[in-house]
Amino acid sequence: MNLKSILTTASLALLPLSAGAASYIIPAAGTGPGANGSHWQSEVTLHNVSTAATSAKLIYHDINGAAGAVDIALPPHATISIADIVKNKFGKDSSTGAIEVALPDADFARVAVTSRTFNTSDSGAEFGQDIPAVKASDAAAAGDLAVLNAPSSADAYRFNFGLYAIADATVTWQLVRADGTIAGEKELSYTAGTQMQYASGVSAIFGADAKNDDVVQASVTKGSAIFYGSAINNASGDPTFVPSVKTKPEIRINFEGVDIDENGTVDLKDADRDGVLDQAMDVFTGQGFPNYFRLVASGEHGEPATFELVDAVDAQLIDANGTVIMAPSAALHGQSGSMKVRITAGGSTAVVTIPLNFR
């Protein structure tokens, strides 16, 4: 048997999370003054539905990474609310970041986490928004497109948006006008465990004026992140949370599939052109010799493609023709995962997914 035909490739879709698998992420929380005389604070509430006590570790992440942690005891059936948490628990006077809520695996499904961020006016009135806690495992990953719909009135509202990076992430941001025109594009990278918010984000990222019904698209080409937005009424300071909608970008790369034997024939295909191989590849582990296979792709009009492995484990490209070598550890035996590959051709880029079974 040709050793190269034992193909495999690699990369667990088990992303290198800075937050554990049993973590919720509140992607935006803060304290201190804001634009137009606003003053912000965040409140977090945790409820334990279990008859047994548990505890949660709350970790604050800002633009530089983890910036404080606190343990919270949760007695049976108890509810704990923490007012102005960024100031009172993490010691910040003026800061915006994300809060990771890490829980024991066994208790993860038994703790409800909510948060509220609000602005207090000079008269004492409060204007607030709920900011949902998101499972770290539900983050937008390489190959996903997160969509943020900006306000219908750019004059009445300012639009802040941002992200929390679960793993080291590369994001291509696009500004799409209401008529479909692409008005700006920028690729930025983020370190795992950091949070970044862009105030008046259209101007901050794209250097452009905001327009009515703008849409901000964030295409993740490496790693994973949780995206969010906030539309704030300029007159009242009243915020409205804008959730990101996780979609799949249009694939404009001709990804034919994988040539297992490197004989010029595509053995495993992406027949429906959705950027995901139609069936999982069997990957053999702990053999003492590597597995080989070749990626087959081109541009829309046959242009040559370049390849980059992203979110891959124990795999590397060994030539410009898309040949991959991998020697997966025996510890992966019996598991499943996926390999993601960034392909560029004819001016277009796409991240494709190759499901894997480790044998």
Single-letter residue type at 193: G
The per-residue pLDDT for 19 is 41
Sign for the pseudo-dihedral over CA of 124, 129, 135, 141: negative
Q: How far is CA 195 from the centre of its chain?
A: 11
Which residues, in sequence order, are bridge partners of residue 253? Answer: none
98 and 190 in contact (C-beta within 8 Å)?
no
Topology of the domain covering 252-358: Immunoglobulin-like (2.60.40)
Does residue 117 contact residue 129 with C-beta atoms inside 8 Å?
yes
Provide the phi-psi class of 308: left if phi over 0, else alpha when psi is between -120 and 50, else beta. Answer: beta
Domain borders along the chain are 23-135, 138-247, 252-358
User: Which tokens in the block code for residue 309?
Assistant: 């492995």
Taking the C-alpha atoms of residue 354 and residue 359, their distance in angstroms, rounded to an integer, is 15
SS3 (DSSP) at 10:
coil
For residue 252, give the nearest of 143, 356, 140, 348 by alpha carbon. 348
3-class secondary-structure state, position 6: helix
For 23-135, the fitting CATH number among 2.60.290.11, 3.90.76.10, 3.50.40.10, 1.20.1090.10 is: 2.60.290.11
| Cβ-based neighbour number of residue 209 at 10 Å | 11
**Structure tokens given for 285:** 């582990």
The reply to whether domains 23-135 and 138-247 share a CATH topology is: yes
* pLDDT tens for the 359 residues of the chain, in order: 232 322 223 332 333 333 434 899 999 999 998 877 788 999 999 999 999 999 999 999 999 999 999 999 999 999 999 999 999 999 999 999 999 999 999 999 999 999 999 988 777 778 899 999 999 999 999 889 999 999 999 999 999 999 999 999 999 999 999 999 999 999 999 999 999 999 999 999 999 999 999 999 999 988 999 999 999 999 888 999 999 999 988 888 999 999 998 888 999 999 988 889 999 998 888 777 788 999 999 998 999 999 999 877 889 999 999 999 988 888 888 998 888 999 999 888 889 999 999 88
- Domain 138-247 classification at class level: mainly beta
